[in-house]
Amino acid sequence: MAKLTLGPLLFNWSAGKRRDFYARIADEASIDAVYLGEVVCAKRAPFSDPLLPDLIERLERAGKAVVLSTLGLVMSAHDREMVRRTCEVADRLIEANDLSAVHRLAGRSFTLGPLVNVYDEGTLSYLAGLGAIRACLPPELPLKAVRELAASRTAEIEVQVFGRLPLAISARCPHARAYKLHKDNCQFVCGEDPDGLPVATMDHQPFLAVNGLQTLSGAYANYLGDLPAMRDAGVQWFRLSPQDCDMVRVTMIFRSALDGACDGEEANASLAGLIPEVEFADGFLGGAAGRSRCKPS
């Protein structure tokens, strides 16, 4: 059976908003696994980490599996310590988003996040030998490559099918710079943009989004029309990335499509009606420009 997952929250939401969000996910969303933890910026962790015990308890009580995600970019001793603490949590599946986390997790079962560059069977096989049981693949891989990695049967394959795609992460903070602030005195301005800060080209065309240290796609990935092909290719886990919209309703739409309760055209119409202001794209999976518009199912 296809598994539906909720990836780690990438944005800097307030404590109250996080609690309300995950309470709804626990009580109302048909999700198999939820990833929790700060991936983007270590400076945010003191505000989000204290919430984790209650969030984990609430989600597990509702029957959701919880995976802890590690930081995606390690730049200091403080960051290394943050990764170490996460990796040393006993009896908990950990998602590694950086090779330093892979090093610490070697010898036990763990999962791989999309920031770990798994592009070929040799890499996947090596990491599986260290303990990786599942890999959420980098977003730019076309379906042909996804199929070949799944066919290797060295680890289960997960693909993000909804939400802004994580494209890059930097030691600098473009989000702070956009507000004319320095990274070291950012005033956590990324919290002003709960869905990311849109970035346009010099010709004023929508292009990307920034979120703290992270560069994201401008359009939301939407692979509703590609779910049957992805299942045929061997994808077992389908990731939704949290956005500032009704994610419970999003999970319902994707669950219905995965279970065959509605076809791709109907599901796409429901999603477009839910967030009509959002541009969708599915170019990467077809081997085209990532920002290409979703094809009709």
Residue 224: helix, strand or coil by DSSP?
helix
Q: How far apart, in whole angstroms, are the C-alpha atoms of residue 249 and residue 297?
A: 20
Q: How far is CA 170 from CA 115, 175, 261, in A?
A: 12, 11, 41
pLDDT > 90? residue 287:
no
Judge contact between 36 and 242, C-beta under 8 A: no
CATH match for 3-166+219-286 among 3.20.20.70, 3.90.550.10, 3.65.10.10, 3.30.160.20: 3.20.20.70
Residue 293: per-residue pLDDT: 66
The mean pLDDT value for 140-168 works out to 96
Q: What is the DSSP string of 27-81?
A: HH---SEEEES--S-GGGHHHHGGGHHHHHHHHHHTT-EEEEEPPS---SHHHHH
For 161-191, how does the pLDDT look when each residue is reduced to its tens digit (9 = 90+)?
A: 999 999 999 999 999 898 999 888 999 999 9
Among 26-35, 132-141, 259-268, the minimum mean pLDDT is found in: 259-268
What pTM was computed for the model? 0.95
The domain spans of the chain are: 3-166+219-286
